[in-house]
Amino acid sequence: MEFFLTPEQLMIRDSAREYAQQHLLPGVIERDLNGTWPQEQIEQMGQLGFMGMMVDPQWGGSGLDTMSYVLAMEEISKIDASASVIMSVNNSLVCWGLEKFGSAAQKEKYLPGLASGQLLGAFCLSEPEAGSDASSQKTKAEDQGDHYLVNGTKNWITNGGHADVYLVMAQTDARLKSKGINALIIEKGTPGFEVGPKEQKMGIRSSDTHTLQFTDVVVSKSHRIGEEGFGFSFAMKTLAGGRLGIAAQALGLAQGAYERSVAYAKQRKTFGQLIGSHQAIAFKLAKMATDIEAARLLVYKAAQLKDQGAPIDLASAMAKYWASKAAMEVTTEAVQIHGGNGYVVEYHVERMMRDAKITQIYEGTTEIQQMIIARGLGI
């Protein structure tokens, strides 16, 4: 489906595809098995402009559109969904939010490093008692005049162990509920800020996910993003774009598993025939291709809306809902098509199936996307 992509967008897609084949595919199995952080690859992706794709060149970014970003996310995710979540959080949750809502001083200080991959960002909303119910923030940012005193715990934080810049949502005035939340920039190494142990995960194992602890952390008010009480709105607006990045990740995972399944179906024989010529396998592949195409249309539509400056809450929730469902179903069928080989690491699809599951959970579960869709439809 290339009919409305520009030559520049196609070039970005092709260069991401080439990069992923040459630099992410070698070692992807070992990084997953050992839970190894892809330091070299993240540096390379920064140098190639993949870590700040939509950031204006005046802040050191690539100045590309959302469509180019989702195309690159799809290609990177086809090969390595751990690398792509690191990229997605940095691009759409951290760089985008800072560029859109940060002060000139904040952009000047952080964006060039974040966009070039020299710095890494993390987005800290989830808490032990505030996952889906994000406005129930327990982390406190007590107003102390010219600064806040931050106390609390964040968990399931992607890039948690390697980030330099953390965007942290915290409650200043609980009486105001979601309107009492602030978004604060907290740097690695700030006294009282500690990174807990790395989570052992089912999938995206070479990305890192940590619990963060804040104990009497002093954060200057100059580190607040936007006006007092803007934090929840900031998180929701930023997450709408983040969900599109995850939808593109899910699309890439599904496409990657589908391509491996087609190749396998064309070389593996049973009962004297290629398995692709058995209707049982051909029908699976037909459904997989159609579900992927529907996901791609939803992802590209949401990207196009974002590039037009239109609201994307509904479109990105639909894209994430469908693409993550497609990713889970397609990768599961890919394992089935590969039979016994599908269950061993060398064939890649078992990793893709494990990686796909998180796309139905992070940046808003499937059920949260359904809630946003229902609200968006006025139901």
Give me the 296-335 binding string for ligand CAA, x by CB under 6 A, dash otherwise: -----------------x----------------------
CB nearer to ligand CAA: pick between 236 and 274: 236
Among 118, 135, 336, 341, binds ligand CAA (CB under 6 A): 135
For residues 298 and 131, what is the distance between their CA atoms, to the nearest angstrom? 26
Is 372 a residue that touches ligand CAA (CB under 6 A)?
Answer: yes
Other CB atoms within 10 Å distance of the CB of residue 134: 19
CB nearer to ligand CAA: pick between 100 and 268: 100
Other CB atoms within 10 Å distance of the CB of residue 174: 12
Give the residue numbers marked as catalytic: 363
Residue 86: name the closest of 55, 57, 114 by CA.
Answer: 114
Is 178 a residue that touches ligand CAA (CB under 6 A)?
Answer: yes
Q: How far is CA 261 from CA 57, 116, 121, 342, 357, in A?
A: 40, 36, 35, 10, 19
Counting residues that bind ligand CAA (by CB under 6 A) gives: 24
Q: Restricting to residues 70-109, name those near ligand CAA by CB under 6 A.
A: 89
Among 5, 25, 218, 236, binds ligand CAA (CB under 6 A): 236
Among 72, 134, 186, 330, binds ligand CAA (CB under 6 A): 134
Residue 177, amino acid: K
Is 126 a residue that touches ligand CAA (CB under 6 A)?
Answer: yes
Other CB atoms within 10 Å distance of the CB of residue 245: 29
Among 125, 195, 247, 257, binds ligand CAA (CB under 6 A): 125
Q: Are 20 and 80 in contact (CB under 8 A)?
A: yes
Residue 330: name the closest of 371, 296, 365 by CA.
Answer: 296
- With residue 316 as reference, give the H or E element that holds it: helix 313-338
Q: Taking contact as CB under 6 A, which single stretch among the options 58-66, 71-79, 111-119, 366-374 is the one that binds ligand CAA?
A: 366-374
Q: Are 72 and 53 in contact (CB under 8 A)?
A: yes
CB nearer to ligand CAA: pick between 152 and 364: 364
H helices, E strands: number in the chain: 12, 9
| Residue 284 DSSP one-character state | H
The residue ranges that bind ligand CAA (CB under 6 A) are 89, 123, 125-126, 132-135, 157-158, 178, 232-233, 236-237, 239-240, 313, 362-364, 368, 371-372
